[in-house]
Amino acid sequence: MENLSLFWFAALRIGALGDRVRLPARPGRLLGFALLVLAVPTALMAQKPTNKTAPGGQPVIAPSATPAKQFAAARAAPADSFAAADALADAAPSSAEQSVPALAAYLARAGSDDITRARALYRWIAGHIDYDVNGFRSGNYGDLSPEGVLRSRSSVCEGYASLAEALGSAMGLQVQVVPGWSKGYGYTSGQRFDGPTNHAWNAVRIDGRWRLMDATWGAGYLDERTQFVRRFQEHYFLTAPDAFVFDHLPHDPQWQLLERPISAAEYENLVYLRPMFFLAGFRIGSHPHARIAAVDRVTVTLGVTQPVQVAASVVDAATDQSLAEELTFVQVSAAEARIDAIFPRAGDYLLRVFAKPLGADGSLSWVLDYRVQASRGASDAAFPMAYGSFGARGATLLEPLSGVLQAGRTYRFRLRAPGALDVAVVAGGKWTHLAASGGEFSGDVPASAGSVVVYAKYEAGADYTGLLRYTGR
């Protein structure tokens, strides 16, 4: 049976930012889809495997990460460099789609070089073959031969990979079916792998070097009703080996295309990364492994290479349900994203992170999961709620980090608010203006019952903008 790693999404409000984040639905077993890659295992060096492995396995879904090293470029070239090849593949006439040789001859018109032909092949398959949901559910996959898949326009991962191999061969390319284990649909961070392979993808030789691609995961995803939704995924075309290995482990280690192949145990312990991790330019920081042992809280850091918007959620690992927004607090600087999380009781949790490049259209996308085992809970603990302007303005909270304040007690407030002319804390209707010194605003504030809100003014004559909200009890 295949492990399908598609885009499973459910709308979820994350933090106090008001962002609608698309989250994956509760995992389940599916046949061959997955989206995401990360990089970190040792240096990558494309090598030619000496043995041809037999087709088999199934598609998958999801990402994982390891130690904080420099990730190789996850893609071969900018997507716009393939515009002509994509347009040709998208416009294939029905007369060219009647047989593998006819389709190969048409797609070969995209160009004479290996990479352009491989792109046309990947684009056509991802854009024209539906994922066979019924076959996945029933185990009756039908005709998985290249000609059979071309006729039915539907298949599971093995059919996608076999068609890619046949088309590539007819186009003068060396394409190999690679069976293995993937972190696809139904996978959860830190999960162990055993049993037969669950996915299949391809290796393609480009200008003498073997590269990796997964047309199944490139085709789309399953929605909340378990219906296939086509959405082209750029990430899985010629993905760097040290990124691909985060969610694809070939049966034959040679097909990792790494200078030092990783073991199955290392693969299982890789952080669960999604494509947005690479797109947004993150780096693994404080925690290189998928599993984290904690008491009642944890702080995770990620390296940042470009301006990003980040949110996080604590998820019950057993139900895949997100818990209260106040259990996470995110702060982003020019070099680092810091995610603090509190766990309400002892148990098994996922720390799920979402992000997108700052200013990019659309909602935040799933970036990664950590699996956290909390030995003790902090049932009354919470972080302050951050308004959207807190992150957008690049503010940083130094203290207090507890979102619950004791009424009548005086607290030291310290934060950085770049560009702010004034920062004030309002408690019980009383405004306490913080003193500015050395790039920080600080001051002692008596808490009151109800909301305690931190405001900042960024322009003379303008209204104050809310940054943080605490609760006084």
pLDDT 10s digits, 192-251: 888 899 999 999 999 999 999 999 999 998 777 888 889 999 999 999 999 999 999 999
Phi, psi dihedrals of residue 235, rounded to the nearest 5°: -60, -30
Average pLDDT estimate for 426-445: 97
* pLDDT, position 51: 30
**Can you read off the two tokens belonging to residue 405?**
């304040």
Report the DSSP pairing between strands 291-294 and 365-374.
parallel
Give the mean model confidence (pLDDT) for residues 38-50. 29
Residue position matching structure tokens 């039908």: 142
Split at pLDDT 50, 70, 90, the class of 2 is low
Q: Mean pLDDT over all residues of the chain?
A: 85
Contacts 24+ apart (CB under 8 A), 284-290: 284/38, 284/40, 284/65, 284/66, 284/67, 284/68, 284/69, 285/68, 285/336, 287/370, 288/40, 288/65, 288/66, 288/67, 288/68, 289/66, 290/64, 290/65, 290/189, 290/190, 290/369, 290/370, 290/371
Q: Which fold has domain 283-374?
A: Immunoglobulin-like (2.60.40)
Q: Is pLDDT of 382 > 80?
A: yes
Is residue 417 a contact partner of residue 441, using CB atoms and an 8 Å limit?
Answer: yes
Alpha helices in 145-246 (DSSP H): 146-152, 157-170, 241-244
Specify the residue for token string 């999801």. 62
Give the pLDDT band (50/70/90) at residue 59: very low
Task: Identify the three-state secondary structure at position 64.
Answer: strand
Report phi then psi at 162, rounded to 5. Answer: -65, -40
Quick one: tokens of 86?
């994509």
pLDDT for residue 3: 52
User: What does the pLDDT read at residue 33?
Assistant: 32
Distance CA(453)–CA(46), nearest Å, equals 55
Contacts of 265 (CB under 8 A, 6+ apart): none
Give the rounded distance of the alpha carbon of 39 from its chain centre: 12
CB 169 within 8 A of CB 30: no
Local confidence band at 77 (pLDDT 50, 70, 90 cut-offs)? low
Q: What pLDDT is stored for residue 5 in this prediction?
A: 45
Cα three-residue angle 103-201-260, rounded to 5 degrees: 135
Least confident interval from 4-18, 260-274, 443-457: 4-18
Q: How far is CA 367 from CA 23, 74, 382, 401, in A?
A: 10, 15, 23, 24
From 130-139, 160-169, 451-460, the region with the lowest mean pLDDT? 130-139
Q: What is the pLDDT of residue 54?
A: 23
310-335 pLDDT, tens digit per residue, is 999 999 999 999 999 999 999 999 89
CB 57 within 8 A of CB 157: yes
13 pLDDT band, cuts 50/70/90, is very low
- Residue 180's H or E segment, with its range, is strand 175-182
Q: Which residues contact 428 (CB under 8 A, 6 or more apart)?
A: 448, 449, 450, 472
Q: Is the pLDDT of residue 472 over 50?
A: yes
Residue 75 has a pLDDT of 55
pLDDT recorded at residue 185: 74
Cβ atoms < 10 Å from Cβ of 105: 13
Q: Is the pLDDT of residue 43 over 80?
A: no
pLDDT value at 20 more than 70 = no
pLDDT of res. 222? 78
pLDDT at 70 over 60: no
What local confidence, expressed as pLDDT, does residue 25 receive? 32
Residue-level pLDDT at 21: 28
CATH superfamily, region 385-472: Immunoglobulins (2.60.40.10)
Q: Are strands 440-446 and 410-416 parallel, antiparallel or unpaired?
A: antiparallel
pLDDT of 226:
81
pLDDT recorded at residue 412: 98
Q: Is the pLDDT of residue 19 over 60?
A: no
pLDDT tens by residue, 245-277: 999 999 999 999 999 999 999 999 999 999 999
Residue 78: the pLDDT is: 67
Question: Which residues belong to CATH 2.60.40.10 in the chain?
Answer: 385-472
Domain with CATH 2.60.40.1220 in the chain: 283-374
Q: Report pLDDT for 30.
A: 28
Section 39-51 average pLDDT: 29
